[in-house]
Amino acid sequence: MKTVADQFVETLAAAGVKRVYAVVGDTLNGIADAIRRHGSMEFVHMRNEEVGAFAAGAEAHLTGELAVCAGSCGPGNLHLINGLFDCHRSRVPVLAIAAHLPSGEIGSGYFQETHPQFLFQECSHYCELVSGANQMPRVLEMAIREAVGRRGVSVVVIPGDVALREAADAPPPKPAGLLPPQPVVTPALPDLENLATMLNDGRRITLLCGAGCAGAHDELMAVADRLKAPIVHALGGKEYVEWDNPYDVGMTGLIGFSSGYYAMLDCDVLLMLGTDFPYRQFYPRGNGVKIAQVDLRAENIGRRASVDLGLVGDVKATLGALLPLLTPANNDTHLVQARGHYAKARKSLDELASGDGRGVIHPQQVAKALSDHASQDAVFTADVGLPTVWSARYLAMNGRRRLIGSFRHGSMANALGQAIGAQKAFPGRQVISLSGDGGFSMLMGDFLSLVQLGLPVKVCVFNNGALGFIELEQKSSGFINFGTEFKNPNFAAMAEAVGIRGIRLERPSEVPDGVATALAHNGPVLIDAVVNRQELAMPPAVTLEMAKGFTLFMAKALLSGRGDELIDLARTNLWR
């Protein structure tokens, strides 16, 4: 007898799904067994469903194709939620299978009862309960189309017993109808002409580029050249924009650097391309600065900064159509200034990574060493917290390397799961997780999956013994550091104990060889990089508020007998 679960798996296969990241159990057993019997799809046995959702998200991010994760009823699928929020906000196509209670028990306060259709509502485009065999094929097909077409999460909630019923007689899914290709969206000519007029009238034009610039590198270079415009990027745009780019002036935002920050403020026209960069304080305000924005999603336009012109279109097609309407700029002063500023900012950042740590390893040195030694098509994943800062500033992109993080949802503990998904999707590529000690230990169970699944992921733990990013936050807002310290094990020894090569770095002189050896190792590795806890990752501009906060923090630290922390802070940051 063909079951609903069999039909479910056949549809997934027709949509090109190659694996399902999941923790099996009770109400999910039927679907898991159908996957086993179908034979064309891998059931990736995770330790925690949340990690499975991060893994599916990374796979979808890298391939652009549908990826799938699953959890059993109640707590099993609840664990998916945080990872799914990340997938949804990063706009990657992921289908979650939320197995549900036996259908006859729904609403009775049964063991493990939750209401997934409500719980997953906010982190999905589409979330429906399958209540009968005849309903399943259409629900699953609609879920797939929404996830892929609207780029985000769909959730199919399916009671365990419904999955085991006899399948309804439905035509087999047709891949071309299941996965219609994405349209190419170009604004109407009069709107492009308005944009061209604004840009042709500008003298100091800056481009702010985000993840929507994927695939538009050539067009971006041509427009920047025509306008002699510096290019600032948001973190989501880094992997698509930064490389082979003579107009690049770095990143803006809290974790960016000064040249990006000033190129944004010091322009008369800002053109935002495929970016939803959220920090409003970094946008130019007043003084006659004009802002234009191009985005595929109308709802993104004007929601961060008030725009003078908003166009709905994809960046590549829009820039291609815009280019012939632009007159070449005859003055490159703004670009030259911004580039000069960038060279200085880059030099001082590189100096911080030089390895002259006088006893302590500065995390910048480790990040730069990873970038220097990684293969040319490496996939990097970065944990939220300071590892994201080091990744933004020190990982060199080249058009083939990829960088994934939790850049919109901002969840800790993303990097290991994303590395698992990246390595599953690309077994032959080098995958490097830049993990915080907080992030790594938060979902450490799936470190064991590297052995179980045979994945040669390189995990670099930035072991600063603290929730470092939060310590910086606390300092700059006048709080004394509190609730942030870790009593960590020797992570390298721990790795060895579970069958993974461990390399511990305690001195700056050990970093280059240690990183090179780790990356050359033919299997999973953990680098336990014991880095400076008191590292001051300076934002591009220190506001009066931050300066006040910092002064208050210093006063409080002195008064509460924690002057030694201040000495450490000064010793490791000022006297380098």
Ligand X SMILES: Cc1ncc(C[n+]2csc(CCOP(=O)(O)OP(=O)(O)O)c2C)c(N)n1
Task: Name the residues annotated as catalytic.
Answer: 49, 111-112, 384, 469
Q: Which is nearer to ligand X, 421 or 468 (CB)?
A: 468
Contact 164, 4 (CB under 8 A): yes
Question: Considering CB distances under 5 to 8 angstroms, the limit depending on partner class, which of ligand X, Mg ion, none binds residue 242?
Answer: none
Question: Considering CB distances under 5 to 8 angstroms, the limit depending on partner class, which of Mg ion, ligand X, none binds residue 412?
Answer: ligand X
Q: Which stretch binds ligand X (CB under 6 A): 57-65, 69-77, 250-258, 379-387?
A: 379-387
Report strand pairing: 42-45 vs 19-22. parallel
For ligand X, the binding residue among 58, 70, 412, 453 (CB under 6 A) is 412
Residue nearest to ligand X (CB): 436
Q: Which stretch binds ligand X (CB under 6 A): 23-31, 134-142, 406-414, 417-425?
A: 406-414
Rounded distance, CA 60 to CA 195, Å? Answer: 33
Rounded distance, CA 115 to CA 300, Å? Answer: 31
Question: Considering CB distances under 5 to 8 angstroms, the limit depending on partner class, which of Mg ion, ligand X, none binds residue 410?
Answer: ligand X
Q: Is 474 in the site for ligand X (CB under 6 A)?
A: no
Q: Is 48 in the site for ligand X (CB under 6 A)?
A: no
CB 545 → Mg ion: shortest distance, Å?
Answer: 25
Run of H or E residues at 256: none
Q: Which is nearer to ligand X, 399 or 410 (CB)?
A: 410
Q: Which is nearer to ligand X, 149 or 410 (CB)?
A: 410
For ligand X, the binding residue among 464, 481, 488, 534 (CB under 6 A) is 464
Token output for 252: 């803006």
Token output for 170: 């439905």
CB 468 → Mg ion: shortest distance, Å?
Answer: 4
Q: Which residues, in sequence order, are CB contacts of 37 under 8 Å at separation 6+?
A: 6
Run of H or E residues at 133: none
Q: How many residues bind ligand X (CB under 6 A)?
A: 19
Contact 25, 76 (CB under 8 A): yes
Determine phi and psi for 197, rounding to 5 degrees.
Answer: -60, -45
What residues pair up with 404 in beta bridges, in sequence order?
381
CB 506 → ligand X: shortest distance, Å?
Answer: 17
Q: Which is nearer to Mg ion, 25 or 438 (CB)?
A: 438
Token output for 125: 């485009």
Q: Which stretch binds ligand X (CB under 6 A): 37-45, 423-431, 445-453, 458-466?
A: 458-466
Question: Considering CB distances under 5 to 8 angstroms, the limit depending on partner class, which of ligand X, Mg ion, none binds residue 213?
Answer: none
Token output for 487: 């009593």
Q: Is 386 in the site for ligand X (CB under 6 A)?
A: yes
For ligand X, the binding residue among 4, 56, 249, 466 (CB under 6 A) is 466
For the CA atoms of 76, 81, 83, 85, the dihedral, rounded to the nearest 10 degrees, stands at: 170
Rounded distance, CA 284 to CA 293, Å? Answer: 14
Q: Under the phi-then-psi rule, with left for phi > 0, alpha for psi from -120 to 50, and beta for the rest, what region is 386?
A: alpha
Rounded distance, CA 222 to CA 273, Å? Answer: 14
Q: Which stretch binds ligand X (CB under 6 A): 84-92, 407-415, 420-428, 509-517?
A: 407-415
Question: Considering CB distances under 5 to 8 angstroms, the limit depending on partner class, which of ligand X, Mg ion, none binds residue 392?
Answer: none
Run of H or E residues at 309: strand 309-312
Token output for 16: 């090109």
Q: Which stretch binds ligand X (CB under 6 A): 14-22, 32-40, 266-274, 384-392?
A: 384-392
Contact 457, 424 (CB under 8 A): no
Q: Is 385 in the site for ligand X (CB under 6 A)?
A: yes
Q: Is 410 in the site for ligand X (CB under 6 A)?
A: yes
For ligand X, the binding residue among 21, 261, 380, 469 (CB under 6 A) is 469
485: DSSP letter: B
Q: What is the CA radius of gyration of the chain?
A: 25
Q: Is 541 in the site for ligand X (CB under 6 A)?
A: no
CB 405 → ligand X: shortest distance, Å?
Answer: 11
Q: Is 467 in the site for ligand X (CB under 6 A)?
A: yes
Q: What does the binding site for Mg ion look like in residue numbers (CB under 5 A)?
A: 436-438, 464, 468
Q: What count of Cα atoms within 13 Å lies in the side-chain half-sphere of residue 113?
A: 10
Residue carrying the six token digits 């725009």: 307
For ligand X, the binding residue among 240, 247, 462, 491 (CB under 6 A) is 462
User: What is the residue type of 135?
Assistant: Q
Determine phi and psi for 403, rounding to 5 degrees.
Answer: -135, 120
Question: What's the gap between Cα 164 and its chain centre?
Answer: 37
Run of H or E residues at 501: strand 501-505
CB 437 → Mg ion: shortest distance, Å?
Answer: 4
Q: Which is nearer to ligand X, 71 or 468 (CB)?
A: 468
47: DSSP letter: S
Q: Which is nearer to ligand X, 3 or 82 (CB)?
A: 82
Rounded distance, CA 315 to CA 217, Å? Answer: 10
Q: Is 258 in the site for ligand X (CB under 6 A)?
A: no
Q: Is 383 in the site for ligand X (CB under 6 A)?
A: yes
Q: Which is nearer to Mg ion, 313 or 438 (CB)?
A: 438
Q: Which is nearer to ligand X, 275 or 411 (CB)?
A: 411
Question: Considering CB distances under 5 to 8 angstroms, the limit depending on partner class, which of Mg ion, ligand X, none binds residue 383?
Answer: ligand X
CB 469 → Mg ion: shortest distance, Å?
Answer: 8
Interacting residue ranges for ligand X, rule: CB under 6 A = 383-387, 410-412, 436-439, 462, 464, 466-470
